[in-house]
Amino acid sequence: MLDSVCLAQVNFTSRRPQSRVSRHFAFRLRSSCKTRGVTWTTFCTAKDESERLLVHEGQSRPKSDHPLRLVLLRHAKSSWDIPPSYPDKRRPLSSRGYRSAIELGRLLDDEGWIPDLVLCSDALRAQQTVQYMCIACERLTEVRAVVLSDFYSGSTSGRNVIAELKEHVVREASATDTTVLCVGHNDGWEQAASILSERKVQLRTANAALLEITEAENWKSALSSTKWNLCNVLTVQDPREEKSKKQKDKNKKKKSRRADITETGLKFIDSSWED
């Protein structure tokens, strides 16, 4: 059962929304995790301050042929089987959400979009999404992850989300971070993806928009542009939902067949009556 699986530990670094201090405290944390009989040892090392400041406040990054990549991920399905007084921010993933997050980790790995940096909402369901993705994508456990309360409170509109992305990605990304995964909420997340790519993007739970831009010197200029290319939208189809959909389609075909037979019969009766 997924509920009994020990999660790969992602060491999140919290960021206060009102803080403008970019200083990082170096740390090295180790945690072991047994997932399906495999022991993982996770290391999370903070970036060196001098390295990060190469791109701080929008300074140019070293010349590279690699484009900048942004992954806007909406958290997996959360559970509503909680007391009414329970805070929304503390809602966990549902069993369907667990399965979707694991599958999403596999898809992200297959696409070759492993991030250099993870920026995540401080909502429990968002953090658990990243943790369960690590079960299928071990390399994700080695990526630095930062928790941001702004990604929860400021996710109501696309413009707000883009402003938050611009602030935090510029502040947190190092000179070598060319792919950033941002985990948050709707409606703001899909609106932000639509604005950046100038295309209609729909993000259901556990959906990820893969955005790429080549004509940008740094993250600051990149997130001020609407010339992002929408490379793909990763979607996860739950096996139970797929089975249910197939059954519905099958029943629909049966009903359609019956309707055709009935209609043919009525036509036959009408024609014989005329004779």
pLDDT in tens, 118-161: 999 999 999 999 999 999 999 999 999 999 999 998 778 889 99
Confidence of residue 258 (pLDDT cuts 50, 70, 90): low
If pLDDT is split at 50, 70 and 90, which confidence band does 264 have?
Answer: low
Q: Are residues 143 and 225 both part of a single domain?
A: yes
Can you say how many angstroms the Cα of residue 194 is from the centroid of all Cα atoms in its chain?
A: 15
What per-residue confidence (pLDDT) applies to 152? Answer: 92
Residue 108 to residues 45, 61, 130, 158, 233: CA-CA distances in angstroms? 22, 25, 12, 23, 11
CATH code where residue 204 lies = 3.40.50.1240
Examine the domain organization and report whether 194 and 107 are in the same domain. yes
Query: Do 191 and 267 share a structural domain?
Result: no
Q: Are residues 87 and 105 in the same domain?
A: yes
- Pair 73, 173 in one domain: yes
Please indicate, yes or no, whether residues 49 and 82 belong to a single structural domain of this protein: yes
**Per-residue pLDDT reduced to its tens digit, 79-98:** 998 888 889 999 999 999 99
Q: Is 240 annotated as a binding residue?
A: no
Q: Are 147 and 12 in contact (CB under 8 A)?
A: yes
189 plus 266 within the same structural domain = no
Alpha carbons 127 and 147: distance in angstroms, whole number: 8
123 plus 229 within the same structural domain? yes
Q: Is the pLDDT of residue 271 over 90?
A: no
The arithmetic mean of pLDDT across residues 224-231, rounded, is 95
Q: Encode pLDDT of 171-193 as tens digits.
A: 999 989 999 999 999 999 999 99
- Are 153 and 257 found together in one domain? no
Q: What is the predicted pLDDT for the residue at 154?
A: 76
Calculate mean pLDDT across residues 231-252.
Answer: 74
Higher-scoring residue by pLDDT: 81, 13: 81
* Domain count along the chain: 2
Per the CB < 8 A criterion, the answer to whether 66 and 113 are in contact is: no
What is residue 274's predicted lDDT score, i.e. its pLDDT?
47
What's the CA gap between 125 and 93, in Å, rounded?
5
75, 183 Cβ separation under 8 angstroms: yes
pLDDT classification of 243: cutoffs 50, 70, 90: low
Looking at residue 175, what is its pLDDT? 86
Average pLDDT of the residues in 223-234: 96
Closest residue by Cα to residue 27 from 114, 144, 124, 117? 144
Q: How far is the first Cα of the chain from the last one, in angstroms, to the nearest whole number?
A: 68
CB atoms within 10 A of CB 61: 21
Task: Give 108 or 39, the one with higher predicted confidence.
Answer: 108
**How does pLDDT run across 18-76, given as a tens digit for each residue?**
333 222 322 222 333 333 333 333 333 333 333 333 334 444 554 456 899 999 999 99
pTM to 2 decimals? 0.70
Q: Is 259's pLDDT higher than 70?
A: no
Q: CA 208, CA 190: separation in Å to the nearest integer?
A: 9
Q: What are the angstrom distances between the C-alpha of 248 and each of 100, 147, 236, 240?
A: 22, 41, 19, 12
| Range(s) of the domain holding residue 20 | 2-236
Between the CA of residue 6 and those of 40, 102, 108, 121, what are the distances in Å?
11, 13, 21, 22
Residues 144 and 168 in one domain: yes
> Which neighbouring-strand residues pair with 260?
none
Q: Which residue has the higher pLDDT, 150 or 13?
A: 150
Quick one: 103 and 179 in the same domain?
A: yes
Q: Do 142 and 20 sit in the same domain of this protein?
A: yes
